[in-house]
Structure 1
Amino acid sequence: MVFSPLIFSTHNLHPDVASDLQEIGELRIASAPTPSAIYGESAGAEIIIVRAPIDPEILRRETGLRALVRHGAGLDMIPVDSATQAGVLVANVPGANSVTVAEHVIFSSLALLRQYPRVNSDLRQNGWEAGRQHSNSGREMSGRTLGILGMGNVGQALHRMAQLGFGMKVISHTRTPAKLPTNIRAVSFDDLLRNSDILALCCPLNDQTRGVIDRQAIDRMKTGAILVNVSRGPVIDEDAVIGALQAGKLAGAALDVFSGQPLPPDHPIFSQPNVILTPHMAGITEESMYRMGAGVVAEVRRIVDGILPKNLINPSAVSNYRSRFNLD
Structure 2
Amino acid sequence: MPETPVIFSTHSLHPDVSEELGQLGTLKVASAPTPEAILAESVGANIIVVRAPIPAEIIAREQGLMATVRHGAGLDMIPMEDCTNAGVMVTNVRGANAVTVAEHAIWSAMSLLRKNPMVTRDLHAGGWEHGRRHSPTGREISGRTLGILGFGNIGTALSGMAQNGFGMSVISHTRSPDKLPETVEAVSLTELLERSDILVLSCPLTDETRGLIDATAIGSMKPGAILVNVARGPVVVENALIEALQSGHLGGAAIDVFNQQPLPIDHPLMTLGNVVLTPHMAGITEESMLRLGQKVTEITAQILAGDTPDNLCNPEALPAFKARFPAP
Scaled by the length of structure 1, what TM-score is found?
A: 0.99
Match of 2:202 in 1: 202
Question: In the aligned structure 2, how far is the partner of 1:31 from the partner of 1:85?
Answer: 29
Partner of 2:187 in structure 1? 187
- 1:264-319 CA-to-partner distances (Å, cap 9, x unmatched) read 11100011110000000000000000000001000000001000111100000001
State whether residues 230 and 255 of structure 1, in contact with CA within 8 Å, keep that contact through their aligned partners in structure 2. Answer: yes
1:233 positional shift: 0.4
Q: Distance in 2 between matches of 1:158 and 1:19?
A: 32
Whole-Å separation in 2 of the counterparts to 1:263 and 1:172: 29
1:75 aligns with 2:75: yes
Alignment-derived partner of residue 266 in structure 2 = 266
Instruction: Tell me whether 1:145 sits opposite 2:129 in the alignment.
Output: no
The question of whether the paired residues in 2 share the 8 Å contact of 1:205 and 1:232 is answered with: yes
Mapped partners of 1:62, 1:314: distance in 2 = 18
Measured in 2, the distance between the counterparts of 1:250 and 1:167 equals 23
Q: 1: distance between equivalents of 2:5 and 2:278? A: 35
Q: Deviations over 1:118-164 (max 9, x none)?
A: 10001110111111110000000000000000000001100000000
Structure 2 distance, partners of 1:41, 1:88, is 19
Tell whether 2:25 aligns with 1:19.
no
Letter in 2 for 1:22: G
Corresponding residue pairs, total: 328
Aligned positions of 1:127-166 closer than 5 A = 127-166=127-166
In the alignment, structure 1 residue 50 sits paired with structure 2 residue 50: yes
| CA distance, structure 2, for counterparts of residue 152 and residue 3 of structure 1 | 38
Calculate percent identity across the aligned residue pairs.
Answer: 61
**Shift of residue 172, structure 1, vs aligned partner:** 0.1
Residue equivalent to 2:110: 110
Aligned twin of 1:235: 235
CA contact 1:147–1:199 (8 Å) conserved in 2: yes
Amino acid at match of 1:28: K
Shift of 1:4: 3.0
Q: How does 1:113-128 map to 2 (within 5 A)?
A: 113-128=113-128
Counterpart Cα distance in 2 of 1:246 and 1:25 = 52
Deviation (angstroms), 1:14: 0.2
| Pairwise CA distance, 1:2 | 7.5
Q: Residue type of the partner of 1:144?
A: R
- For 1:163 and 1:110, how far apart are their aligned partners in 2? 15
Residue aligning to 2:281: 281
Matches within 5 A, 1:214-225: 214-225=214-225
Aligned partners of 1:198 and 1:15: how far apart in 2? 37
CA offsets 1:49-86 (integer angstroms, 9 cap, x no match): 00000011100000110000000111000011110000
Give the residue type in structure 1 aligned to 2:217. A
Cα deviation, 1:221-255, whole Å, max 9, x if unaligned, reads 00000000000000001111110011111000000
The corresponding residue for 1:89 is 89
1:327: how far off?
2.4
Q: Which position in structure 2 is the counterpart of 1:311?
A: 311
Indicate the residue corresponding to 1:254 in structure 2. 254
Q: Which amino acid aligns with 1:129?
A: E
Shift of 1:326: 1.4
Superposition TM-score, scaled by structure 2 size: 0.99
Distance 1:16 1:3 in 2: 23
- Amino acid aligned to 2:235: V
Q: RMSD across aligned C-alpha pairs, in angstroms?
A: 0.9
Matched, 1:66 2:55: no
Whole-angstrom distance in 2 between the partners of 1:207 and 1:132: 45
Any conservation in 2 of the 1:2–1:306 contact (CA below 8 Å)? no
Q: Could you tell me which residue of structure 1 aligns to residue 297 of structure 2?
A: 297
**5+ residue gaps in structure 1?**
none
Equivalent residue runs for 1:162-177 within 5 Å: 162-177=162-177
User: How far apart, CA to CA, are the structure 2 residues paired with 1:326 and 1:168?
Assistant: 54
Where 1:319 maps in the other structure, the secondary structure is helix
Whole-angstrom distance in 2 between the partners of 1:22 and 1:148: 39
- Give the AA of the match of 1:166: F
- Counterpart secondary structure, 1:199: strand
Give the secondary-structure state (helix, strand or coil) at the position aligned to 2:171: strand
- Using the TM superposition, give the Cα deviation of residue 3 of structure 1 relative to its aligned residue in structure 2, in angstroms: 4.0
Any idea what SS the aligned residue of 2:243 has? helix
Alpha-carbon contact 1:54-1:79 (below 8 Å) kept: yes
Q: CA deviation at 1:7?
A: 0.4
Partners of 1:2 and 1:305 within 8 A in 2: no
SS at the partner of 2:72? coil
| SS, match of residue 136 in structure 2 | helix
Alpha-carbon distance in structure 1 between the residues aligned to 2:160 and 2:50: 29
Q: Which runs of 5+ in 2 are unaligned?
A: none
